[in-house]
Amino acid sequence: MTVKVVVVDDHAMFRRGVTAELEATGAGVVEIVGEGEDVDTAVATILATRPDVVLLDVHLPGGGGVEVIRKLATQPVDTAPRFLALSVSDAAEDVIGTIRGGARGYVTKTITGPELVSAIQRVADGDAVFSPRLAGFVLDAFAGSIEVADIDEDLDRLTEREREVMRLIARGYSYKEVAKELFISIKTVETHMSAVLRKLQLSSRHELTKWASDRRLL
């Protein structure tokens, strides 16, 4: 049976890339029936197309991926789609928050086309799917060994985009690599990075890496 899929991401280039990859590697298995770029368009598209699975970015304009799930929570169980998070972020609070919000799985954007097709099929069948490294976060959270609340007030000061830039820079990405990963300009990366350092009262990439490592954000 063909799995009907809606792709939700705020970057048009990424949505086109995912659609092209799924159409190439998942022909006859996956059918893309719609797209969304923010919370409102995602909800409208999902209600109009009734997909089996929604590929959902965690950070979206209008409230994030969890807000999409929340707004659709009133739908009858037999018509409600299953949600598979597809995000650049592999931070513990994003993974755990999204799963607690109602997603059936969480994979990162490093996933290959065939792996993504398989993950979509498994989620459609009712399985839970995670990128290997992320499964540990979920197990630890539900075992009560890590805190699932926001890491601290400092992190709350950052916008969703600043958090994405912060994590990549802290992992050693160059500005050019961050720009390519997030589909933004190098100048925009520099602007976000300056804001991150100012808000966190840090003075260098080295201090940022230590700050993020101490909070298990890497």
Judge whether 98 and 127 are in contact, CB under 8 Å. no
Rounded to an integer, the average pLDDT of 131-135 is 77
Mean pLDDT (the chain, rounded): 86
Lowest mean pLDDT segment, chosen from 35-39, 50-54, 76-80 = 76-80
- Report pLDDT for 142: 59
Name the residue with higher pLDDT: 111 or 78.
111
Residue 81 structure tokens = 């789609």
First to last CA, the chain: 39
Reported as a pLDDT band with limits 50, 70 and 90, residue 149 is very low
Reported as a pLDDT band with limits 50, 70 and 90, residue 143 is low
- Report pLDDT for 150: 44
- Report pLDDT for 138: 66
pTM listed for this prediction: 0.67
Q: Is 146's pLDDT higher than 70? A: no
- Report pLDDT for 218: 66
Q: One-letter amino acid identity for 174?
A: S
Distance CA 65, CA 73 (A): 13
Rounded to an integer, the average pLDDT of 172-196 is 92
Judge whether 127 and 149 are in contact, CB under 8 Å. no
Lowest mean pLDDT segment, chosen from 5-19, 28-42, 74-88, 145-159 = 145-159
- Report pLDDT for 59: 85
- Report pLDDT for 83: 96
Q: Single out the residue of 13, 27, 73 nearest to residue 5, CA to CA.
A: 27
What is the DSSP secondary structure assignment for residue 73, as one 8-state letter?
T
Reported as a pLDDT band with limits 50, 70 and 90, residue 30 is very high
